[in-house]
């Protein structure tokens, strides 16, 4: 059987009880390592943290393995239980849906264990292992270094598009909310105008940006709780709310 297990947003403790039970019963455990990342990253130390909790050795599965060598993972799932760990929710990326389709075509039983995802908390741009345009033109694989869009860059590009298109959809005074490292101990949430958020250093990835639309009074109260006030941030959320 193939288990596709969501790990949640923050660290190793965000896995659900159902997910942990699934991992512990599997003979082989992979962790998908290119559509997202946990707060502590996927270094040897990060993997060790996961392995200690799960009591299993974990194999790092990068883009090439998942998209081009997935048949190897699925073949193992024919013979024994295999866990495929995904940061966030299993269906936060089309790659994972494709894995399920492949497994079903092979007649494999698949069990999905859902978890919290940035997709149901916001939306995010991330490029962890992408081939360069030059390498694609030359017909050989040469990957670019990891890139993560920051809130500041997102706002800059949005304002540039608005200036070019002139649709009056938003401007520097449009209210937004910036999120960084959702689900982590040091997560950061700040509400303010585009102009204000551009002045803030949100730190390490992952970042999310929401453009605020028509709000309910209760939503306005919540936004006020995270409002940017001058040079200092009155509120940097620590994950308790």
Transcribe the chain into DSSP letters. -EEEEE-BSSSGGGS-HHHHHHHHH-SEEEEE-SS---TT-SSHHHHHHHHHHHTS-EEEE-HHHHHHSHHHHHHHHHHS-EEEEESB-GGGSHHHHHHHHHHHHTT--EEEE----GGGT----EESS-B-HHHHHHTS--BPPPEE--HHHHHHHHHHHHHHH---S--TT-EEEEEESTTSTT-EEEEEEHHHHTT----SSPEEEEE--S--HHHHHHHHHTBEETTEES----S--
Residue 117 assigned as binding residue:
yes
Check the annotation: does 45 bind a ligand.
no
User: Any binding-site annotation on 92?
Assistant: yes
Residues at the binding site are 9, 89, 92, 117-118, 182, 207
Residues at the binding site for S-adenosyl-L-methionine are 9, 89, 92, 117-118, 182, 207
């Amino acid at each position: 059987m193939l288990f596709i297990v969501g790990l949640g947003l923050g660290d190793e403790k965000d896995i659900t009880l159902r997910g942990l039970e699934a991992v512990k019963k599997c003979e082989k455990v992979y962790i998908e390592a290119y559509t997202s990342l946990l707060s502590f990253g996927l270094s040897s130390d990060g993997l060790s943290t996961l392995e200690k909790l799960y009591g299993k050795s974990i194999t790092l599965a990068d883009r090439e393995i998942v998209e081009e060598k997935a048949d190897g993972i699925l073949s193992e799932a024919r013979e024994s239980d295999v866990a495929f760990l995904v940061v966030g929710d299993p269906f936060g990326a089309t790659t994972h849906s494709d894995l399920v389709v492949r497994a079903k075509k092979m007649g494999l039983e698949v069990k999905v264990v859902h978890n919290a995802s940035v997709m149901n908390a916001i939306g995010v741009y991330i490029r962890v292992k992408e081939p360069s345009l030059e390498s694609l033109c030359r017909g050989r694989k040469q990957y670019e270094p990891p890139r993560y869009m920051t809130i500041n860059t997102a706002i800059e590009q949005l304002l540039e598009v608005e200036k070019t298109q002139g649709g009056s959809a938003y401007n520097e005074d449009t209210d937004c909310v910036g999120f960084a490292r959702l689900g982590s101990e040091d997560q950061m949430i700040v509400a303010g105008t585009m102009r204000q958020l551009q002045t803030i250093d949100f730190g390490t990835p992952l970042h999310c940006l929401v453009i605020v639309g028509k709000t309910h009074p209760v939503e306005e109260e919540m936004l006020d709780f995270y409002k940017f006030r001058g040079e200092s941030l009155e509120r940097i959320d620590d994950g308790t709310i």
